[in-house]
Amino acid sequence: MRIIPAIDIIDGKCVRLTQGDYKKVKVYRDDPVEVAKEFEAADLEYLHLVDLDGAKKGKVVNWKVIESIQAETALKVDFGGGVKTDGEVEELLELGIDQINIGSLAIKDPNKFIGFLQKYGSENFVLSADVKNEWIQLVGWTEASTTTIYDLTARFEKEGLQYITCTDINTDGMLQGPNFGLYKKLKKRFPKLKITASGGISSVMDLKELKYINIYGAIVGKAIYENKINLWELKKI
C-alpha cells in the first residue's frame, strides 16, 4: 500500500481544514517546501499536494509552491486543486507532476475529463471524489451534487479510469478513523480500480486495516501535523 503524506496550501502556507470547512483552517507551517523536504528525508516517496485556493477559485493558484517542490525534491507528486484546462494539465505534466487529481470538473464537464484521459493517458489522472454520506461534493467541498460516488466511478471506469482517491468529508480532519465501510464497498464494486483512501486516518492501526482490505493507497494529513503518527512509522508500513 502506498503511504501518501499530504500538504494542503492556502496563501502559500501549509494548512489543514476540518471537514472541508474553509472557516476551520489551521496553519501548521509557513513553508510547504520545507515540509515536503522533511517527508523526503524520512524516505517517503509520495506526496498528495492540494491547492485549496485553486479548488475554491476553479483554477490553479499556488504555482510557485508547486514549482519549488518539483525542483527541490524527488517526491512523486499527485496534485489537485482547480485544474480545468488543457493548458494547466500540460504545464503540470511538464513540471513533472506524477498524477493530476480531477474533482469538480468530472461532474460539471465529464466530457472534458474523458478528453483528458484519452489525450494525455489515464495513468496521469486520478478521479478525486469528495463525498458526504456517499454523495459527491464540489468546488472545494462548498457545493453538493446529486451524484453518488458509485455512479460517478462507474461512468469513468468505462472510459479507462484507473485511479480514484475518495475523501470522506465527515471523517476528514477529525482524527477518529476513516470510513472503512465506504472503502470496502468501493473495493467490492470496482475491484480493478486503484483506490486511495483519504480522511480521518489517525493511527498506524488505521493504516494496517486499510492495507488488510487491500486499498491501493492511503493519504495521511492531520495525523502527521498533530503528531499522532510520526514519519518513520509511515515508512515502516
The pLDDT value recorded for residue 112 is: 98
Q: Catalogue all structural domains in the chain, each as residue range(s) with its CATH number.
A: 2-236 (3.20.20.70)
Local structure of 112: helix, strand or coil? helix
Q: Which of 51, 130, 168, 206 is catalytic?
A: 130
- β partners of residue 137: 144
The pLDDT value recorded for residue 141 is: 65
Q: How far apart are CA 186 and CA 183, in angstroms?
A: 5
Closest CA to 145 of 133, 159, 127: 133
What does pTM read for this prediction?
0.94
Which helix (H) or strand (E) segment holds residue 36: the answer is helix 32-41
For this structure, is 130 an active site residue? yes
| pLDDT per residue rounded down to tens, the chain (237 residues) | 999 999 999 999 999 888 777 888 999 999 999 999 999 999 999 999 999 999 889 999 999 999 999 999 999 999 999 999 999 999 999 999 999 999 989 999 999 999 999 999 999 999 999 999 999 988 656 678 899 999 999 999 999 999 999 999 888 777 899 999 999 999 999 999 999 999 999 999 999 999 999 999 999 999 999 999 999 888 887
Task: Name the one residue in this structure whose C-alpha cell is 515536503.
Answer: 36
Q: Which amino acid is at 172?
A: D
Q: How far apart are CA 6 and CA 25, in angstroms?
A: 15
The pLDDT value recorded for residue 81 is: 93
Q: Which of 8, 51, 53, 168 is catalytic?
A: 8
> Which cell is 184 given?
470496502
